[in-house]
């Protein structure tokens, strides 16, 4: 199935006859996500309902015509490479989307054996071992490098937006919810869309931030939560020195976390430096 720039008129095929809904998976700030089955082949999908008032669009040329396409659609197609990438990319794949009068629907791949990282941590006593965290973190860094390389700035990397496929001994990472994302650009951003608890310190200090350093900061916050087990990370508490790194962690791990959570973005490691860090060896 391909993206339909306009599928709101009664004469065009619509989603509802082709899928069946099984129940709500998640309530998000800008919509709700439901589990469903594609009726043609029973493929399991996730159906995201987004109120039209919350949809940000971008003019896009398709077949010589200009259409206003939801930004989230464009980001997902770039990050996951469309229906042909089902199960292959770290980002979950967008299968189709529909533009109705009151809402936009996104039909996405649903990794059925996955649980979000927040619940995965709770199921494992609130924290993981360094080896377990290392496997997840390495995949997150590689996924972030891939997304930024194709111009996608997720902007809301956190445990709730990371799925873990637990079918094998080495859980696989999948990235979801591109609703706060945007295209990468050279000049700094001044307005923030995402979870304020994980916003980079430069946003509060200077009112500006960039894609790469912000992504590294959020990965550092995720790494902290993977290994701490006692409390959630917030940028404000870290800046007030209310969050301390676990001194029981290996020196390499503490060093990596400090590189990710450097308050000055110019002193923060980049993604390539993180991937080459001794902790991953």
Binding residues: 25-33, 48, 109, 116
Cα separation of 165 and 135, whole Å?
12
**How remote is the C-alpha of 20 from its chain's centroid?**
25
Catalytic annotation, pick one of 96, 156, 177, 228: 156
Question: Is 94 strand, coil or helix?
Answer: strand
Cα separation of 166 and 47, whole Å?
22
- Residues in the annotated binding site for ATP: 25-33, 48, 109, 116
Q: Are 48 and 33 in contact, with CB atoms under 8 Å apart?
A: yes
DSSP string, 23-63: EEEEEETTEEEEEEEETTT--EEEEEEEEGGG--EEEEEET
**Length of the chain counted residue by residue:** 281
Residue 156 a catalytic site member:
yes
Sheet of 114-116, strands arranged across: 114-116, 162-165, 172-175
| Helix 211-228 vs helix 130-149: crossing angle, to nearest 10 | 160
Give the catalytic positions in this structure: 156
């Amino acid at each position: 199935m391909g993206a339909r720039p306009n599928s709101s008129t009664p004469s065009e095929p619509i989603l509802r006859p082709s899928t069946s809904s099984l129940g709500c998976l998640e309530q998000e700030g800008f919509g709700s996500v439901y589990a469903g089955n594609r009726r043609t082949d029973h493929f399991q999908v996730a159906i995201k309902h987004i109120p039209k008032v919350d949809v940000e669009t971008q003019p896009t040329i398709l077949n010589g015509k200009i259409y206003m396409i939801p930004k989230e659609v464009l980001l997902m197609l770039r990050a996951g490479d469309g229906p042909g990438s089902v199960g292959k990319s770290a980002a979950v794949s967008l299968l189709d989307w529909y533009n109705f009068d009151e809402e936009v629907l996104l039909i996405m791949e649903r990794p059925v054996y996955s649980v979000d990282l927040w619940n995965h941590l709770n199921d494992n006593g609130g924290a993981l071992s360094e080896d377990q965290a290392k496997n997840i973190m390495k995949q997150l860094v590689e996924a972030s490098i891939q997304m930024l390389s194709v111009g996608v700035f997720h902007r809301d990397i956190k445990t709730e937006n990371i799925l873990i496929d637990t079918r094998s001994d080495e859980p696989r990472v999948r990235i979801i919810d591109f609703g706060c994302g945007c295209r990468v650009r050279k000049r700094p951003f001044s307005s923030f869309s995402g979870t304020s608890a994980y916003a980079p310190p430069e946003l509060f200090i200077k009112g500006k931030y960039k894609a790469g350093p912000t992504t590294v900061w959020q990965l550092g916050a995720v790494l902290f939560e993977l290994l701490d087990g006692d409390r959630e990370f917030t940028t404000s508490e870290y800046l007030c020195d209310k969050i301390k790194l676990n001194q029981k962690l290996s020196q390499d791990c503490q060093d990596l976390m400090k590189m990710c959570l450097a308050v000055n973005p110019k002193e923060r490691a980049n993604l390539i430096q993180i991937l080459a860090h001794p902790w991953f060896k």
